A and B are shown apart, each in its own frame.
Chain A
Amino acid sequence: MLRVFLIVLFFLIIGTTALCAGAEPKVEVFPPASYDRHIIYQALIFFWIGIIGLVVIIAMKLREIKRVQKMGIDEEEGNVPFLD
């Protein structure tokens, strides 16, 4: 009985070792700690707020440029007299 148990145990150990050798642990491609994840997602939200802010500023600037261009006062005249 003991002999059968030892043989089964032997094959179990060998089998488990072989299985573990084949399955390499998966590489963590993203920080696993929940605190780090929280910081990263928070930074992503701030990043988007920054981008949206910049887009709004540029769009406003562009609108102003177009308004000035439409009025025709954006170009320098060639024969403007010097004030000095």
Chain B
Amino acid sequence: METLGALARSKTVPSHRFDVWYFAGGLTLFLFVFQFITGMALALYYVPHAEHAHKSIVDIVTKLNMGWLFRSLHHWGAQLAILVLFAHVFSTLLLKAYRKPRELVWLTGFVMLAISIFFGLSGYFLLWDERAFAAVRVATGGAGNLPLVGWVIKGFLRGGLDVTGETLTRFYAFHVAILPLVTIAVAGLHILLVQIHGMSVPLSQERKQGGPEPFFPNLFYKDLIVWLVCLGVVVTLAVLLPPEIGRKADPLAPAPENIKPEWYFLFLFQTLKLFPGEMLGMNGETIAIVIISAAILFFFLIPFFDRRSAMGQRSPLFTWIGTFYLVYFTVMTVIGFLT
């Protein structure tokens, strides 16, 4: 404890024009802890079986004291965690905080984003209602369109040829055991690397920054304020907009009309819509999935492509690329939301 205290007292954080973005990392951590706590409470009553899953959630919401609040808090906590994580990733991208020697910090952060999205998908499916069922069928079907390895991923995720009760068991295992363990390991590594390398200062601010601010108590108190306000926002959303529960999923029924995935999948959903059913004699969806996968891979490996930033020089090309990613994600999400 003394070592941790000494570390907290000796740690300083740079202060400059964009230092507000440093709060996104701490806020993400806070929301993850919040999700762990509310999730543990829900796991005490949830029944991970195709016959009982839906009813157990209805019981949590309608019969348990404060059950509706815990479910709603868990739902809105997840939405905000992913939103803040996206903000953290895009701010890191545009401020070039991924540059040498912080490549591994970027890679672990990106893995955290992927894990969070899978957390969202697997958690959504546990509801076992019509919309969740159709969404998982589309998402796992989309993964199945990847060339060569698609069928393996699809089979592994579904636990069979189609989405069934086996898929529910798998997603439950992912959601409450595998993903939390991976999250703790990856987030631990991410935080450790941030402590080793310190906070990154944008190239444009290296000569303009003020004196470093001590993390404890200054930044710690500021973090506390941000976390408290965030807690207030989550609780307010949970009370005013509790998430609906649809009808129990029927694997034999057709998918309901006009269904949309969760907001963080909307940009993918809209991109898939841009492609025709067949292109150059190939399946249009397969081509779309390959292009999207290539774009995501480029995003993941961006610290290794941006050589100018690594050498401490300005790289406007990668600023434009980062802006393009952000604008594309935002525009496609808004279009998907409105249409």
Contact = CB atoms under 8 A, between A and B. Distances in A.
Interface of A: 24, 26-31, 40-41, 44, 47-48, 51, 54-55, 58-59, 61-62, 65-66, 69
A27 B62 contact: yes
B239 A28 contact: no
Interface in B53-67: 58, 61-62
Given A27-B245, A29-B68, A47-B232, 9 more contacts: A27-B61, A30-B68, A31-B68, A44-B239, A51-B228, A58-B228, A59-B225, A65-B221, A66-B218
Q: State the main secondary structure of chain A at its contact with B.
A: helix
In this complex, the interface size class of chain B, counting residues with CB under 8 Å from chain A, is: 20 to 34
Contact of A29 (B214, B232, B242, B247): B242
Contacts, number: 54
B1 interface: no
Nearest to A65: B217
Nearest to A22: B247
Contacts of B243: 29
Given A27-B62, A29-B243, A65-B217, A44 B235 contact: yes
Contacts of B58: 27
B239 A51 contact: no
A24 to B, nearest CB: 6
Contacts of B61: 27-29
Nearest to B69: A40
A61 B221 contact: yes
B68 A58 contact: no
Contacts of B293: none
Contact of B229 (A30, A51, A61, A65): A51
A29 B221 contact: no
B228 A55 contact: yes
Nearest to B231: A51
6 contacts: A29-B71, A44-B235, A55-B225, A55-B229, A58-B225, A62-B217
A61 B222 CA distance: 11
Contacts of B221: 58, 61-62, 65
Interface string B312-338: 000000000000000000000000000
Nearest to B75: A29
Contacts of A59: 225
A28 B228 CA distance: 29
B244 interface: yes
